[in-house]
Structure 1
Amino acid sequence: MKILIADDDPSSILYLQDMLGEWGYEVEVAVDGNAAAEILRRSDGPLLAILDSMMPGMDGIDVCRGIRQSDTERYVYMIILTSRVESEFIVAAMNAGADDFISKPFNDEEMRVRVRAGRRIVELGEQLRRRASRDALTNIYNRGAIIEILEKELSRQGRSQHAVSILFCDVDNFKAINDTHGHLAGDEVLRVLARRMAATLRPYDSFGRYGGEEMLGVFPDCGLEGALEVAERMRAAVAEAPVKTEFGDIDVTVSIGLATVDKDQTCKLATLLQRADDALYRAKANGKNCITIAH
């Protein structure tokens, strides 16, 4: 797990770095409060932080307050490191959003157990957040989560003017698979296909189950050419080998409808989804196992 140390004292940073590294943590360092806040707001930033109470720029309490007031969905567990022990300071830190505090000079074992407690809380929160956003059958995003991701990308696209692409993917002849092999086989087909297709995505792409056998992919900072490459990898990953089930091997293909909002355009969510859905319908009409681009 990554942990942030925010302190302007080089000797304190080195000591904490060595100690936390020995305990198995990946350490990131900030030497002032502004840098700490920026790191913690990153989508891949540490979820555990040790913040010195007094730093240049924003102090530790300011960092806590800023992170709690931000719109990030990730919960960051923040520990204030301070030489102040008066109750007024502790109350102010907790009210600002700090989770715990450690007095200077600190005891190494106390630091270890407090960091470990924070880690347990963070890991539990991440497990609960993941369960709430994942489809129970396929373990990709559920409908609500993938739509929320798309909404955020379209909002970001409107501000920063970058391209966004989406695809609708539908399993060909899925009703026939269920009728011939049974619904348990159909469930296994969906699980395997979701795993194959998700494995072809870029790290910053998102993929979710929209409903039934239909899935939605969201590709940020991705124009039509790049989206076509990703979509073709997904289509090929499905068609390259049968799905092995307890009820026999099942040949499966998918049809894909692709829609793009270029960097100089804007598009409402419902309109973009409809364009991709119309393209998917044409892919089905064109013989299936193919990709069709929205008009």
Structure 2
Amino acid sequence: MHESKRKVLVIEDSITSMKVIKHLLKGADLEPIGAASLREAREVLSRSGSDEYLCAVVDYCLPDAPEGEAIDFSIEYNVPTIVITGRLDEVTRTNVLAKDVVDYIPKENAQVYEYLVRLVQRLDKNREIGVLVVDDSRLSRTMISSLLKRHNFNTYEAEDGEEGLAALRQYKNIKLVITDENMPNMTGLEMVAEIRRTISKDDLAIIGLSGKGSSALSARFIKSGANDYLNKPYCHEEFFCRVMQNIEYVESIEAIRRASNTDYLTGLPNRRHFFTRIQANLRIAPGNVILGIVDVDQVKWINKQYGYEAGDNVLKSIAKLIEKYFTDCHISRFGGEEFCIYSSGQDTENLLEQYRTFCMEVAQSKIDVGGQFVGFAVNVGISGHFNGDIKETLHFADTNLQKAKEKGDNQIVYS
């Protein structure tokens, strides 16, 4: 079923600004719904309700709402609100930031619109991200959590370092920790140092907080393993910028890792990542190791006859079938036309039946090449021999693969 795009309500009376914002939001695969006045915005939300909207982008000054009344309207409807304005005076800025807005963006240059789209995209991504707030002051925790919730983060709270460590163990979606220094039982610095014993800066960002305003303390936080530091009291805009910057740092590292560990064509783990995962598995559960090599026949012939796109589609089809049938195994595109499937601790006969069913479906599969349906086949060599050296197991599987090829298409040889 086709998933509908996320809607963004844009309340803006400038035709030029509305066009620019709509164009950028559509480019980000979002659906902008425009309203040129507060009255139009009321009509829009009365028809559809607020639940359909990811957020609202609201101009501060409108013909029928000259003093930010439209901001109060969208907040009352519980729609996360981003304010844009041509007013650059400090009074307007202070008035806006006193409201429960996501952010305040002055119309200074073209770059602010790029920032706006990035911010809207973040609101969608943040629904899956956890942030842990560690502070012995309930008031401080509540204030920080309320700010984070404006940006759709999942927030968790702890009143000292020990509770903070327990929360990290419990909630696996936490990407950022915001911690005060002065706490009972375990201080912020002690907690940061303990976290960094097992979790690197690339996997979890930490922002230190303190009301003391000491440059020495900020240096101690950084040296203990924090990614960043903020003095209390802090500006809301700076707080949000620091949070976004640190979350995006962790995400960028994750993206780099995925790119380096993933086969670009099929999306499966690549050969290098496959061996890394196997070595980790062997340390934990080395029992009943079974390794299979799947070789796709006719790919070179299909490339020559129908073009490389057709051959790529065959490989992608095989990858999807492997994912379908071997959900409890470590799988990989091993290179070229070969895929590798590793399992440990599984019942051998059940696993062999999965291979047989997989080959039967491959035999019935075809790809569409310009209206012509082209079939393909695989052969599988499987080894259950393991004496501690996975390379030797691979050798036996490859030997069985050659025997399977000699027998014909969609054949399995196991020893």
d(CA) in 2 for partners of 1:233, 1:56: 60
1:178 Cα offset (Å): 3.1
Structure 2 match to 1:241: 365
1:212 Cα offset (Å): 1.0
Is residue 2:260 matched to residue 1:132?
Answer: yes
d(CA) in 2 for partners of 1:130, 1:46: 19
Is residue 2:129 matched to residue 1:2?
Answer: yes
Describe the superposition over 1:213-237 as per-residue Cα deviations: whole angstroms up to 9, x where unpaired.
0012334654435644654565455
Describe the superposition over 1:252-280 as per-residue Cα deviations: whole angstroms up to 9, x where unpaired.
2322334458xxx8622212322333343
Amino acid at match of 1:4: V
Describe the superposition over 1:113-138 as per-residue Cα deviations: whole angstroms up to 9, x where unpaired.
21111122222222222211222332
The structure with more radius of gyration: 2
**Matches for 1:22-33 after TM superposition, within 5 Å:** 22-29=150-157, 32-33=160-161
d(CA) in 2 for partners of 1:21, 1:246: 50
Distance 1:150 1:287, change over 3 A: same
d(CA) in 2 for partners of 1:187, 1:131: 19
Amino acid at match of 1:217: I
d(CA) in 2 for partners of 1:81, 1:279: 61
Contact 1:255-1:280 at 8 Å conserved across structures = yes
1:46 Cα offset (Å): 2.6
Distance 1:103 1:141, change over 3 A: same
Distance 1:247 1:140, change over 3 A: farther
Structure 2 match to 1:276: 397
Q: Comparing both chains, which one has the higher relative contact order based on Cα–Cα distances under 8 Å and sequence gaps of 6 or more? A: 1
Amino acid at match of 1:83: G
Describe the superposition over 1:112-163 as per-residue Cα deviations: whole angstroms up to 9, x where unpaired.
22111112222222222221122233232222121212122112235xxx55
1:241 Cα offset (Å): 2.6
Structure 2 match to 1:191: 316
1:5 Cα offset (Å): 0.8
Candidates 217, 220, 223, aligned match of 1:95: 223
Contact 1:41-1:72 at 8 Å conserved across structures = no
Name whichever of 4-13 and 107-116 sits farther off: 4-13
d(CA) in 1 for partners of 2:358, 2:296: 12
Name whichever of 125-134 and 38-47 sits farther off: 38-47
Name whichever of 231-240 and 241-250 sits farther off: 231-240
Contact 2:130-2:155 at 8 Å conserved across structures = yes
Distance 1:285 1:149, change over 3 A: same
TM-score of the superposed pair, with normalisation by structure 1: 0.77
Distance 1:224 1:60, change over 3 A: farther
Distance 1:69 1:241, change over 3 A: same
d(CA) in 1 for partners of 2:135, 2:199: 27
Identity score, percent: 26
Amino acid at match of 2:132: I
Distance 1:290 1:38, change over 3 A: farther
d(CA) in 1 for partners of 2:272, 2:279: 11
1:99 Cα offset (Å): 0.9
Is residue 2:275 matched to residue 1:147?
Answer: yes
Contact 2:366-2:376 at 8 Å conserved across structures = yes
1:83 Cα offset (Å): 3.0
Candidates 113, 116, 140, aligned match of 2:241: 113
Is residue 2:395 matched to residue 1:267?
Answer: no
Residue segments in structure 2 that go unaligned for 5+ positions in a row = 1-127
Distance 1:128 1:99, change over 3 A: same
Contact 1:80-1:98 at 8 Å conserved across structures = yes
d(CA) in 2 for partners of 1:39, 1:221: 31
d(CA) in 2 for partners of 1:152, 1:214: 22
Residue segments in structure 1 that go unaligned for 5+ positions in a row = none
Name whichever of 209-218 and 236-245 sits farther off: 236-245
Secondary structure of the residue aligned to 2:285 is helix
1:100 Cα offset (Å): 1.0
Amino acid at match of 1:5: L
Secondary structure of the residue aligned to 2:174 is coil
d(CA) in 1 for partners of 2:207, 2:199: 20
Candidates 252, 257, 261, aligned match of 2:376: 252
Describe the superposition over 1:68-119 as per-residue Cα deviations: whole angstroms up to 9, x where unpaired.
4437695222212333431222112111221112334554443322111112
Structure 1 match to 2:83: none
Aligned length: 287
Amino acid at match of 1:245: V
Is residue 2:296 matched to residue 1:208?
Answer: no
TM-score of the superposed pair, with normalisation by structure 2: 0.58
Candidates 297, 308, 325, aligned match of 1:172: 297
